[in-house]
Every structure is written in C-alpha cells, then in structure tokens.
Amino acid sequence: MPTNTLDLPVELTLRRAKPGDLPTVLTLLAEAAKWLNAAGVHQWPDGGFPAARIEPLIEQGTMYLLDDGSDPVPAATMALDGHADPEFWTRSDRPGDALYVHKLAVSRAYSGQGLGEVLLDWAAGRAAEEGRRWLRLDCAKDNPRLQAYYRRFGFRHVRTVDLPHRASGALFERPARGAGYGRALDIEAHKELIRA
C-alpha cells in the first residue's frame, strides 16, 4: 500500500475514519481546540467537540485520518463533504459547485511539517475529481494568522459573515483544479489509499 511523500520519520497513511476511531478523533480535536483557545482563538469549543457532532461525519464516510497505524492519536484529521453551512454559503454562491473542508486539525506533535497543506491539496484534487469548481472552508473571523495561512495555499477570501453566535465566519475558496500549492503530493498514490 502506498504511503505519503513527505519524508517524515514515520510513514503516514490517509484513510477514512472508522467508528472505532471516534475516541482518537475526539482526542485530536480536543487537543487542537485547547491549543487554539490558549492562543486566544475561540473558533472551537474549549473542551473539543461532543461525540454527537463527529460521529455522523465518520458514519457518512467523510472524516479522514492521517496516521501511522500505531500511535493512539492520528497525526491529522479532516472532514471533506458537500455540506455548505447555510448560515455562511448562500444560493448565489452555488453551494453545489464545491466540496467543503471541516474539522481540519494537525496534532501538535506534527505541527510545522506540512500536513495541513497536503490535506488541502488532496481535498482540492478530490473536488476536481468530482467535477466541483471549488474547495471551500470557513475559519475564525478574528484569526488573521490562520487566514494568511489559507491565502498562502491558494485560497481567496470570499467574505466574512459576522454572526454573533458564531466565532467562525471568514469564508475562503480555492479552485479545485489548483492542487499543488503545498508540498509535493502523489495524487495517484492517495487515490489508491482512499479507495482501498
């Protein structure tokens, strides 16, 4: 089975999360939420997400893990689906023209190694493969550092939706055909991994 192309000290495999992965996904998301909140970014709940928010993503087959097969916590996780949050994306945005990234998190142990970029490139490739024009996401309205990160990898700011009950609302999109902004990624190898 193919592995990543990141030259990391361990081999990582991108795969769909299974029901048994729920505790480890919740652990990683809680770790990311704690780190974000400590940095003053309140996009995600301080204690992480409740299982009821993540279980459906796993059941629908839209939650992915990047892991080495042995570490109890994955290196990264991300959900990718066609769900356009109706509080953010309007009919004029043509929501069906995109795939949407949700719950992208990289373990602090793998921070700075390019895993987020690889996952975003892979997601853009998946969107193109499905005939979608865009890869979209939303992020914290008050996190210019994260917004700059997305811009660096080909995303453009669409608009900011300021809802008092939501910390998120900065909307970004990038052309699906524009895979390759991050580190080199063997898309053919990743197609095999996901379909295995």
pLDDT value of position 192: 40
- Is the model's pLDDT at 195 over the cut of 50? no
* Per-chain mean pLDDT for the chain: 85
Distance CA 98, CA 57 (A): 17
Q: How many CA atoms lie within 13 A of 43 on its CB side?
A: 23
Distance CA 9, CA 7 (A): 7
Global pTM reads 0.85
pLDDT, tens digit, 9 for 90 and up, residues 31-60: 999 988 888 877 888 888 999 999 999 999
pLDDT, tens digit, 9 for 90 and up, residues 105-155: 999 988 888 899 989 999 999 999 999 999 999 999 988 989 999 999 999
pLDDT value of position 73: 81
